[in-house]
Amino acid sequence: MQAFTRPLALAIALAASSAASAQAGGFDCSKWQHNEDKSWSAKEPVEIGGQAGRLDYVPGEVYRVGEQKNGLDIAKLLDANCVKP
């Protein structure tokens, strides 16, 4: 059960943030590059953390919707919070 708690808590915290308020919560869209193939890359080291733990994202790694890092689909959250229609 604990294996699901950390990713779920991070996902809920990130999904609850809007693009405007995300920066205050440590989720700053300006630190991410939305690539031509719709994947995402960090422009600089990004740390996302809270009570459930910490996830580190580094430049050079590519994140695509459906792929998870420690149970978190960061690309899906970036699409939801950072892509302007």
Domain ranges of the chain: 2-82
Averaged over 57-75, what is the pLDDT?
A: 92
Kindly tell me the burial class for residue 54, based on how many C-beta atoms sit within 10 Å of its own C-beta (0-12, 13-18, 19 or more): exposed
The predicted pLDDT at position 72 comes to 85
For residue range 4-31, list pLDDT tens digits in order: 555 555 555 444 433 333 443 446 899 9
pTM: 0.67
The predicted pLDDT at position 70 comes to 81
Question: Across the chain, what does the average pLDDT equal?
Answer: 76
